[in-house]
Amino acid sequence: MIKIWVIKMSRYFSKFLLIERIKITKVFNGMVYGIRKVPLIGKHLGDKYYFYDLKEIVNTFVPIFSIIWQFIKSILTFGFAIIISRTMLKFLFEISDKSPLFFRENFDLSLGAVLLTCIPFVFYITNMITSSMLTDNGNVFSDLSKNFNFFPNDLARIFLYLQPFLIFIGRTLGFVIFGKIFANINPIYTFAFSLGLYFYNINMTCFWTKIYEKREKSFFEDRPFLQIILILILDLAISLLVLIIKLDFKVLSLGFFFINIILFPFTVKYFKNFKGYDKIIEKTINVYKIAVKDAKNIQDGVVKIENKDINKKEKIKGEGFVYLNNLFFKRHKRHLLKPTLIKTGIFFVLGICGFFLLSRLTIKGNEVYKILIYAIPIISYILFKQDKILMAFYKNCDSSLLYYNFYREDKNLLKMFWLRLNSIFKLMLIPMGAMFIIYIGFAIKFLIKTDLNLLLPIFYILLNAIFFTVLPLFQYYIIQPFDKEGKQKSVVLVLMNMFLYYIFIFGLPALATKIGEIKFMLIISIFIIGFVGLASFLIYKFAPKTFKIKQ
């Protein structure tokens, strides 16, 4: 019996190593591709492949490089959890005036103090509560079964036990190093918590698999927003509870470990008798394929002009490029104006609810001011960022005109740039007006009797609107991220948008609480003014060379 088990596990382990070899090779090839895409390096390397020996070394020592790669990912994940936790704690620290209800007397927002609150570790528990290793890996299952002929039973056991164990190794290293260096936490406790997460991951997979058996589909298959909302609510609720009871990390780690180790034998017994691996893996792959197909159809039709978008009776003003620009924005009301109105309406309702909520609380004017400054960059990102406009510009206007030399002449490009700048800013006036109204309401109620600078937030909102007007045009004319078929191919644009997301959602609010509101708004205002000036100059100088059809 033991011999059979050993043979099976060795077979699964060898296949797991093959999966890791495939994964590491893809990462390596991606890095090489990225390096060769750097203009100066790519030109120097030419067509010759210089990385074969290094690739052979990586393939020879796959387990070591897999652990290193997993350790890097675990460090990044843990770092992200710490940043989120510290931002939340800083916000709560400020608005509660370091209330003893939430904070110990010696709490100082240092990295060690943040870790000792247990909030970064709670982040892992709440974010894994809806996860299932058998239904969350459709893209990987599809690739491995289609291109490498992996069987569903093998995939199920590898991703149920071996893949989480690799994650456990990388995560444990991160927990132990961070915990010991910054908070002097005994490695035994960080190890116990990480091992508890390993069992917890498998136990939660068992829980959701049982539900899958009854419903014959994943619980969150048609409810992605419910999954996100559930995680956010649980994370906030458990984090506040942990702060209120002043939970010690020793208690959390050992308690969490023993609860999951007690439940684990029942999980193993369930999966030992489970006969539906083929069915669940096949369904997961099919769900993924349908999602990819739907995403492709949505992507292809996201800026498609339909008959209802064309009003032949409506008179379009202007001539030449003015007429072209006016026609474009008239026919894209459904794609650009309608989503802006919906987002603005939702924000306005939430803003009014927030106003009445704070009105019922005993809260000081300077605390309301801090909340507003904290929220402005997040709200600006959500309301001002236009996700469809670049694709609409390219697919429905410029992809055909760029073949003509006259359209790429300096004066004509600049004319279209300024016309589009003006039209996008008019679109921004809608959410900007809503933000002004909500802010003025808060200012009259809470801030009018304070000595705070009430005009600076208005100026800051205006600059954010200008920033998100110039930014997409800068990305469009300087990067030109589309190929001739209208597919977005630019890695630079993806990285820029990711950076922008983290800066506006996490970075700027954290910076505002760190350096103070007035200094923060002055620095950001200077940066935005500088960016707008630099972007305009670069478009004027280089757009005729960069704005072209890409193969």
Residues 274-294 have pLDDT tens digits of 888 888 888 888 877 877 776
Are residues 338 and 292 part of one domain? no
Residue pair 84/39 in contact (Cβ under 8 Å)? The answer is: no
Q: Is 483 strand, coil or helix?
A: strand
Are residues 412 and 276 part of one domain? no
Q: How far is residue 49's CA from residue 51's CA, in Å, rounded to a whole number?
A: 6
Q: How far is residue 185's CA from residue 116's CA, in Å, rounded to a whole number?
A: 8
Residue pair 445/359 in contact (Cβ under 8 Å)? The answer is: yes
Residue pair 239/119 in contact (Cβ under 8 Å)? The answer is: yes
Model confidence pLDDT, tens digit, residues 436-473: 999 999 999 888 888 888 888 888 899 889 989 988 88
**Is 302 domain-assigned?**
no
At 482, give phi and psi (nearest 5°).
Answer: -105, 145
Model confidence pLDDT, tens digit, residues 310-365: 777 778 888 888 888 888 888 888 888 888 999 999 999 989 988 888 887 777 77
Query: Could you tell me the two tokens for 253?
Result: 């780690």
Residue pair 72/173 in contact (Cβ under 8 Å)? The answer is: no
Beta bridge partners of 482: 488
Count Cβ atoms within 10 A of the Cβ of residue 264 and give its class: 0-12 exposed, 13-18 middle, 19 or more buried.
middle
Residue pair 96/102 in contact (Cβ under 8 Å)? The answer is: yes
Residue 332 CB coordination number (10 Å): 21
Specify the DSSP class assigned to residue 314.
Answer: S
Count Cβ atoms within 10 A of the Cβ of residue 4 and give its class: 0-12 exposed, 13-18 middle, 19 or more buried.
exposed
Q: How far is residue 349's CA from residue 45's CA, in Å, rounded to a whole number?
A: 57
Are residues 182 and 317 part of one domain? no
Are residues 202 and 170 part of one domain? yes
Residue 5 CB coordination number (10 Å): 9
Whole-number pLDDT of residue 279: 84
Domain that holds residue 338: 307-546
**Strands, E assignment, 29-121:** none
Q: How far is residue 119's CA from residue 62's CA, in Å, rounded to a whole number?
A: 34
Whole-number pLDDT of residue 195: 95
pLDDT classification of 191: cutoffs 50, 70, 90: very high
Q: Return the residue matching tokens 């994940």.
A: 77
Contacts of 111 (CB under 8 A, 6+ apart): 82, 86, 182, 183
**Is 468 domain-assigned?**
yes
**Is 551 domain-assigned?**
no
Angle between helices 365-384 and 338-360 (to 10 degrees): 170
At 483, give phi and psi (nearest 5°).
Answer: -85, -175
Model confidence pLDDT, tens digit, residues 463-522: 889 989 988 888 888 888 887 777 777 777 877 888 887 787 777 777 776 777 778 778
Q: Tell how many helices (H) and how many strands (E) occur in the chain.
A: 23, 0
Model confidence pLDDT, tens digit, residues 535-548: 888 888 888 778 87
For residues 84-99, give the mean pLDDT: 80
In the chain the first and final C-alpha atoms are separated, in Å, by: 60
User: Percent of the chain at pLDDT above 70?
Assistant: 92
Are residues 326 and 248 part of one domain? no
Q: How far is residue 544's CA from residue 410's CA, in Å, rounded to a whole number?
A: 6
Specify the DSSP class assigned to residue 309.
Answer: G
**Max CA-CA distance within the chain?**
84
Are residues 432 and 359 part of one domain? yes
**Is 195 domain-assigned?**
yes
Nearest residue to 429 via CA among 467, 462, 387, 405: 462
**Is 20 domain-assigned?**
yes
Are residues 52 and 71 part of one domain? no
DSSP H stretches of helix in 96-184:
111-116, 119-127, 138-147, 152-157, 163-183
Residue pair 206/165 in contact (Cβ under 8 Å)? The answer is: no
Which among 268, 297, 326 is the end of a domain? 297
Q: Return the residue matching tokens 């808060």.
A: 442
Q: Is 550 strand, coil or helix?
A: strand
Which among 34, 60, 86 is the end of a domain? 60
For residues 162-172, give the mean pLDDT: 92
**Is 212 domain-assigned?**
yes
Q: Report helix, strand and coil shares of the chain as percent, to nearest 5.
A: 80, 0, 20
Are residues 78 and 52 part of one domain? no
- Statement: the pTM of the whole predicted model exceeds 0.85: no
**Is 127 domain-assigned?**
yes
**Is 230 domain-assigned?**
yes
At 149, give phi and psi (nearest 5°).
Answer: 55, 40
Are residues 139 and 32 part of one domain? no
Are residues 100 and 13 part of one domain? no
Angle between helices 187-215 and 249-273 (to 10 degrees): 40
Are residues 66 and 50 part of one domain? no
Are residues 275 and 208 part of one domain? yes
Domain count, the chain: 3
Whole-number pLDDT of residue 493: 80
Which among 265, 297, 329 is the end of a domain? 297
